Amino acid sequence: MNEKLVTVAQFTDYAEADLARQWLEEQGLSVFVMGQNVGVVWGGLPADKIELQTPEGQAEEAREILAAHEPPRREVGEDEDLGDEPEPDFDEEQE
């Protein structure tokens, strides 16, 4: 393969990057994850830039697939009631 690799997405979490890689590979695309071992090399520091790369000719398709899989996100305001339930008390005896 002599085609130039391009970055189609960036992540700060390796698990998310790996999941995205799997989605793209399931569609038959060539995918490379760059920077996933930065934390190991630098003594456990969190990786701030894990890049998902594909050959340039597959980049547009890869971006479309990733956009279709992106979970919807909702902003939560400070005063919004989230309906939190009380934490379970694990010290109580279970029957």
pTM of the entire predicted model: 0.64
pLDDT digits (tens, 9 = 90+) for 5-47: 999 998 888 888 889 999 999 999 999 998 876 555 555 555 5
Percent pLDDT > 70 in the chain is 60
CA nearest 24: which of 50, 57, 51, 58?
Answer: 58
Q: What is the mean pLDDT of the chain?
A: 77
Total domains, the chain = 1
Query: Measured on CA atoms in the order 5, 6, 8, 10, is the torsion positive or negative?
Result: positive
Domain that holds residue 28: 13-69
* Lowest mean pLDDT segment, chosen from 9-13, 74-78, 85-89: 74-78
Would residue 22 count as lying in a domain?
Answer: yes
Would residue 1 count as lying in a domain?
Answer: no
CA nearest 57: which of 30, 18, 92, 80?
Answer: 30
Looking at residue 37, its pLDDT comes to 65
Looking at residue 69, its pLDDT comes to 83
Would residue 48 count as lying in a domain?
Answer: yes
Would residue 85 count as lying in a domain?
Answer: no
Would residue 47 count as lying in a domain?
Answer: yes
- Residue 74 — very low, low, confident or very high, per pLDDT cuts 50/70/90? low
